[in-house]
Amino acid sequence: MGLFKSFVSQTRKPEGVLGKMMLSGMNSGHAKMADWGLSHLPVIQPSKAVDLGCGGGRNAGELLKRYPKAHVTAVDYSELSVKKAKEYNKDMIAARRCTVMQGDVSDLSLPSDSFDLATAFETIYFWPGLERCFSQVARILKPGGLFMICNESDGTDATSLKYEKIIDGMKNHTAEEIEKSLKAAGFTKVKCSHHSSKPWITVLAVK
């Protein structure tokens, strides 16, 4: 259990050899879920988007493909994730369409009212206080900006609740908890979509 716990705990903040192994699997392992989440985005044309808790950088890359005129900022508090995301998006960084940076979602060093779209894939489980962190997201979004959350867990499935007991600092949130925190942070028009056969959820909220 010791090695297993050490490995799965890398989902929170990848570090060292185990962290590299985890990041290598994240981009491919979460791709179907992330693409399902992206399918819920309305027809928009953001000029600036930000992917929070970017992990290995794959989803930031998908945003760059989806919105060819947008600049995408990818943020993660793991130094190893930032390195991996930079490698994954090196061409777009060279083209000045992508910026990858280390940061803490509870205290984002990004300008207010700057982004049209913010995304968070498989990451809010580890955010230190939803309302506080959601308030930071609201701050950096422009009025009318869109925030999309995509989780593998709806906060009730047995498998995820098991991992919650194993991984320090992990909290599976229900759709109701997420909506309540979003509204308390200043978001409106919150909509949650559930996958037809999996415990996946996508939440869309407007600033």
32-53 mean pLDDT: 97
8-34 mean pLDDT: 62
In CATH, what number does 2-206 get?
Answer: 3.40.50.150
Confidence class for position 167, pLDDT limits 50, 70, 90:
confident
Cα dist. 63→41, 129, 170 in Å?
11, 26, 26
75-92 mean pLDDT: 95
91-98 mean pLDDT: 98
Domain residue ranges of the chain, discontinuous segments joined by +: 2-206
pLDDT at 75 over 70: yes
Average pLDDT of every residue of the chain: 89
Q: Where are the alpha helices (DSSP H) in the chain?
A: 2-8, 16-29, 31-38, 58-66, 79-88, 90-94, 130-140, 158-166, 175-184
pLDDT at 183 over 60: yes
